[in-house]
Amino acid sequence: MKNLILNRMKPVAASLAFLAVLAAPALAHRVNVFAYVEGNDVVVECSYSRSERVRFGEVEVLDAATGAALLAGKTDEKGEFRFPVPPAVRAAKADLRIVLKAGEGHQNATEVKAAEYLSTAPDAAAATTAAPIASAPPSPPVAPVAAAGPVAAASAPVQTVSQTGGQGGAAPALDAAALERIVEAAVEKKIAPLRAILVAEKEKGPGLTEIVGGLGWLVGLAGIAAYFAAKGKKPRS
């Protein structure tokens, strides 16, 4: 009985949901997301129009190549969300994909290419701001966790972190997760050019083999057609 009701409810619920979408005031509203680099920060502007901003919209920042989530946050009253480029991202020279979820199925995305933030802030700036970034809640890519015990294999990365962190004093210990992130970033940096080559290959369009293969198909099909045409013409005894 319960099931029956539920089943009957389903289309109603579906159509209600559909109506809700239709009835949303932002009927034909596109939601815009535009991001630009200002110093070491990426500024994301979210709006329905100049006078109607997306207030408290959810913004997700992903690695454009891997789709890995990097950080997330919400727009302020002016539809703005600002975040510093995480050092790991800067090191990997990753392109950023910024997705805005404004609610009611309003979603849009934009990209910030690595070249954009690399050109506006020197690496040195990243190094000096690395520590505050690491402590900021939305972007913890290389947050060193002091509580974790020293890991034997971690000694080398620990050194690099203390260097880039520039805090001096005792080298902070790393937990496994932080180490993993650092290694990932380093590997990503190394393979990024390879990935670019692969993508370029993919986008090149049909290669010689495909073209020759395609011609083969055409000739074959023409042959079959000719065969049937000839067969049809044969006088039958």
Partner 1 sequence: MRTSRFFLVSALAPALAAAALALAAAPALAHFGMIIPSQDTVADKAKAKVELAVSFSHPMEGNGMDMAKPKAFGVVDNGQKTDLLPALKPAKVMDHAAWTAEYTFKKPGVGTFFLVPEPYFEPAEDKFIEHLTKVTVPAFGEEEGWDAPVGLAAEIVPLTRPFGNYVGNVFTGKLLVDGKPAANVPVEVEFYNKDKAYEAPNEYMTAQVVKTDANGVFSYAVPFAGWWGFAALVDAPETIQKDGAAKKVERGAVLWAKFVEPKRKKK
The residues binding partner 1 (CB under 8 A) are 30, 32-34, 36, 45, 47, 49-51, 108, 113, 116
- The residue among 44 and 178 lying less far from partner 1, judged by its C-beta, is 44
CA separation for the pair 58, 74 (Å, rounded): 5
- The residue among 47 and 75 lying less far from partner 1, judged by its C-beta, is 47
CA separation for the pair 106, 25 (Å, rounded): 12
Q: Give the chain's end-to-end CA distance (angstroms, integer).
A: 72
- The residue among 109 and 186 lying less far from partner 1, judged by its C-beta, is 109
Nearest to 192 by CA among 106, 82, 87, 66: 66
- The residue among 50 and 202 lying less far from partner 1, judged by its C-beta, is 50
- The residue among 2 and 50 lying less far from partner 1, judged by its C-beta, is 50
Nearest to 112 by CA among 98, 126, 123: 98
Q: How far is the CB of 54 from partner 1 (least distance, A)?
A: 12
Nearest to 112 by CA among 181, 49, 65, 74: 65
Q: How far is the CB of 34 from partner 1 (least distance, A)?
A: 5
182, burial (CB in 10 Å: exposed 0-12, middle 13-18, buried 19+)? buried
Nearest to 94 by CA among 131, 74, 69: 69
Q: How far is the CB of 32 from partner 1 (least distance, A)?
A: 3
Q: How far is the CB of 60 from partner 1 (least distance, A)?
A: 18
Buried b (16+ CB within 10 A) or exposed e, 185-199: beebeeebeeeeeee
Judge whether 54 and 75 are in contact, CB under 8 Å: yes
Judge whether 97 and 65 are in contact, CB under 8 Å: no
CA separation for the pair 141, 86 (Å, rounded): 7
Q: How far is the CB of 45 from partner 1 (least distance, A)?
A: 7
Q: How far is the CB of 124 from partner 1 (least distance, A)?
A: 25
- The residue among 3 and 51 lying less far from partner 1, judged by its C-beta, is 51
- The residue among 180 and 210 lying less far from partner 1, judged by its C-beta, is 210
Q: How far is the CB of 152 from partner 1 (least distance, A)?
A: 46
